[in-house]
């Protein structure tokens, strides 16, 4: 069964069966790969888990309010197939309506940052196999994770501003499908020639100005790339403020290696602090009495959440603790005895 906002079809199946809703992005990667993966997910949920399966394809015109009416019984499991943007869409809908339905993530995007940080996808930069994700749907355990909120828009991974943040929004879906993470590398290199912006940052009642190429507020360490999974970053009720201030080409290379392969430097060209809430404003690079921004520089900076453009500065970012329930691998290293929210869940 396929469900859309235009459909008046009722969602009734046998009362005795469990029900799963599979939400997917119909333009993610190639149609043949997507069709093959969806077919396998449906077959395994039906044959191995006893679920009746309904499909919900999302499109750019839809909002989370199109999905929210479905996030209730009889559905006992939500499966999201797609990249970080699709995952954000589903988790934001669940958090908005307060539904406690567990979510299984099958990564099928470009970066798949959240899946990597939950141990669902190997943290290696080019890992993409869905095998662990499919096993997690059947044998996973549930844990509650935090989300972030930027001007009321929920996100799972990161919110950002500045030229380096803009680089995440520039590749179109064709480019990401063709060259995957290299699409971001290309646009990131283009930021080298762009001047940094002056931002005013307010947290804990204190404000300061900083000239930066990128300011990110993330739910995961170092934007979540190239790091072994660590559930603590996603469940501690805090966000990471990353201020990137590269001054020369070597700094960009160091940042790239840090995020891509987990390399660290004793003196990285960025600043990190754990926060619960932060306000970020764009400041003009001119005297306050001039009343005009530099030529070609808009008065406000474009904002990004989870790889998609969302409004402009000022941005107010805060953590939403324990917002949603996620299935993670049964024997994942992200688990410790203190962090398990429930007993093993067999779906």
> For 64-98, what is each residue's pLDDT tens digit?
999 999 999 999 999 999 988 999 999 999 999 99
pLDDT score at 321: 98
CATH of the domain at 190: 2.60.200.40
Residues 236 and 299 in one domain: yes
Question: Alpha helices of the chain — where are they, by DSSP H?
Answer: 31-49, 64-67, 84-97, 113-117, 131-139, 163-166, 173-179, 182-190, 232-235, 249-261
> What angle, rounded to 10 degrees, do the helices at 131-139 and 31-49 form?
30
Strand partners, 55: 2, 22
| 346 occurs within a structural domain | no
pLDDT score at 170: 62
pLDDT score at 220: 85
pLDDT score at 284: 84
pLDDT score at 337: 38
Residues 129 and 180 in one domain: no
Residues 37 and 120 in one domain: yes
Number of domains in the chain: 2
Q: Provide the CB-side half-sphere exposure for 169 (13 A, CA).
A: 18
| 110 occurs within a structural domain | yes
Query: How far, in Å, CA of 40 to CA of 79, rounded?
Result: 13
Residues 99 and 238 in one domain: no
Residues 265 and 181 in one domain: yes
Residues 182 and 36 in one domain: no
Query: How far, in Å, CA of 67 to CA of 160, rounded?
Result: 26
Q: Provide the CB-side half-sphere exposure for 27 (13 A, CA).
A: 9
Residues 208 and 139 in one domain: no
Residues 88 and 29 in one domain: yes
Percentage of the residues of the chain whose pLDDT score is greater than 90: 50
pLDDT score at 173: 54
pLDDT score at 340: 43
Residues 132 and 162 in one domain: no
pLDDT score at 339: 45
Residues 192 and 243 in one domain: yes
List, for the chain, all residue ranges whose pLDDT scores fall below the cut of 70. Answer: 1-16, 28-30, 123-128, 170-193, 222-229, 246-270, 285-297, 332-347
Residues ≥6 apart with Cβ < 8 Å to 339? 143, 231, 232, 235
Give the CA-trace dihedral at 270, 272, 278, 281, to 10 degrees.
-10
- pTM of the predicted protein model: 0.82
The residue segments making up the domain with residue 57 are 18-146+322-328
pLDDT score at 10: 33
């Amino acid at each position: 069964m396929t469900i859309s906002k235009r459909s008046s079809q009722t969602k009734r199946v046998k009362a005795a069966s469990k029900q799963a809703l599979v939400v997917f992005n119909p333009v993610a990667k190639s149609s043949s790969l997507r069709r093959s993966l969806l077919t396998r997910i449906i077959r395994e949920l039906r044959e191995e888990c006893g679920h009746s399966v309904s499909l919900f394809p999302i499109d750019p015109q839809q909002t989370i309010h199109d999905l929210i009416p479905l996030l209730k019984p009889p559905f006992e499991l939500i499966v999201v197939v797609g990249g970080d943007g699709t995952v954000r869409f589903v988790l934001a809908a669940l958090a908005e309506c307060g539904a406690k339905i567990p979510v299984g993530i099958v990564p099928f995007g470009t970066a798949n940052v959240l899946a990597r940080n939950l141990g669902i996808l190997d943290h290696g930069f080019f890992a993409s196999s869905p095998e662990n994700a499919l096993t997690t749907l059947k044998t996973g355990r549930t844990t509650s994770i935090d989300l972030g909120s930027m001007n009321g828009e929920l996100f799972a991974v990161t919110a950002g501003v500045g030229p380096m943040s803009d680089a995440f929004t520039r590749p179109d879906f064709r480019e990401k499908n063709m060259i995957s993470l290299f699409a971001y590398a290309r646009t990131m290199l283009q930021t080298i020639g762009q001047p940094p912006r002056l931002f005013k940052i307010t947290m804990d009642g204190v404000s300061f100005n900083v000239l930066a190429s990128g300011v990110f507020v993330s739910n995961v360490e170092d934007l979540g790339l190239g790091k072994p999974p660590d559930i603590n970053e996603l469940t501690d009720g805090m966000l990471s403020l990353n201020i990137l201030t590269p001054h020369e080409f070597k700094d960009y290379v160091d940042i790239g290696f840090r995020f891509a392969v987990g390399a660290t430097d004793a003196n990285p060209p960025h600043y990190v602090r754990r926060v619960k809430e932060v306000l970020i404003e764009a400041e003009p690079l001119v005297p306050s009495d001039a009343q005009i921004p530099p030529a070609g520089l808009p008065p406000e900076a474009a904002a990004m959440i989870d790889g998609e453009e969302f409004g402009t500065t000022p941005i107010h970012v805060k953590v939403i603790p324990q917002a949603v329930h996620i299935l993670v691998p049964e024997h994942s290293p992200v688990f410790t005895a203190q962090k398990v929210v429930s007993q093993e869940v067999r779906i």
